[in-house]
Structure 1
């Protein structure tokens, strides 16, 4: 049975899915899929994982890889042999090399045919994610994420998350 990410979202092996959803739903979905998936998984994130918390991590079942550039994303995806790849969208990856977006999309599509389940997720839609979605098997948008984000006044950073705190 495919893992259920959320009552209305499920994943199946051999697919590349994109989920754009509010943070709360993403946290629920990640917790559900990581607790139900029996094999080792790969979690790809930027400088630090935004959604991966101590509460949903089983260190024996998940490997975390950080990527700071689009080139590193391609390398990590090419080397991945896990049957589940969770891919936390980071907008900063594509700023220096937007021409790599189609290559990343193609690699995800090819890896899904091996068969691996690849889930790229974000809390909002942006121009980079829109360029990747033609390569996916399925795209799920929650209406809240399609609205323009409200501007917040900067209040500074209360704390910084790192991978160090997870292990």
Structure 2
């Protein structure tokens, strides 16, 4: 069982993966993998979820858990017996509980021995980086913006008969 995040980028069982990606990319990766319906899939989020409403949850093997504290998150990992564990990062779980970062990071690594673990965020922060220190793979998918204006170099400007704006002629007075 694998999850293809992007063409040629596969996540394997037995690994802890820290993924930074746009929400639409991660939703498409999960919804585009029909094999996930055959496996036990645990989705863990904190106080709110950005992507859960976009995920196709018709499978009977799709479980959702909410953690409102770092301790509840830690407990969810220890009790999990799923093939895929997807954790949507919520930094507010660690407000006032910074001492839980190391144990939670260790629990993510530990549960990844038997499962495919994905720690996901659309934008990295200090808490995410601390949790991801023990990750086997750190993946960042950056959206490519369309180029709306052609790139103009000084050479193309000269060929068009224009003077590059960055170059000035000094006049003697």
Corresponding residue for 1:112?
112
The separation in 1 between residues aligned to 2:63 and 2:27, in whole angstroms, is: 18
Q: Could you tell me which runs of 5 or more consecutive residues in structure 2 were left unpaired when the two chains were aligned.
A: 144-173
Q: Which runs of 4+ in 1 moved over 3 A?
A: none
Corresponding residue for 1:134?
133
- Offset, 1:8: 4.3
The alignment's C-alpha RMSD in Å is: 1.6
- Offset, 1:55: 5.2
Distance 1:54 1:47, change over 3 A: same
Identify which of structures 1 and 2 has the higher relative contact order when contacts are C-alpha pairs closer than 8 Å and 6+ apart. Answer: 1
TM-score normalised per structure 1: 0.78
The separation in 1 between residues aligned to 2:60 and 2:112, in whole angstroms, is: 23
1:122 aligns to 2:112 (yes or no):
no
Asked whether the equivalents of residues 6 and 28 of structure 1 are also in contact (C-alpha less than 8 Å), the reply is: no
The separation in 2 between residues aligned to 1:55 and 1:130, in whole angstroms, is: 25
Superposition pairs of residues 1-167 of structure 1, within 5 angstroms: 1-33=1-33, 35-37=34-36, 38-53=38-53, 56-113=56-113, 115-143=114-142
Distance 1:96 1:30, change over 3 A: farther
The separation in 2 between residues aligned to 1:5 and 1:75, in whole angstroms, is: 27
Task: Tell which structure's C-alpha radius of gyration is larger.
Answer: 2
Asked whether the equivalents of residues 43 and 87 of structure 2 are also in contact (C-alpha less than 8 Å), the reply is: yes
Asked whether the equivalents of residues 13 and 115 of structure 2 are also in contact (C-alpha less than 8 Å), the reply is: yes
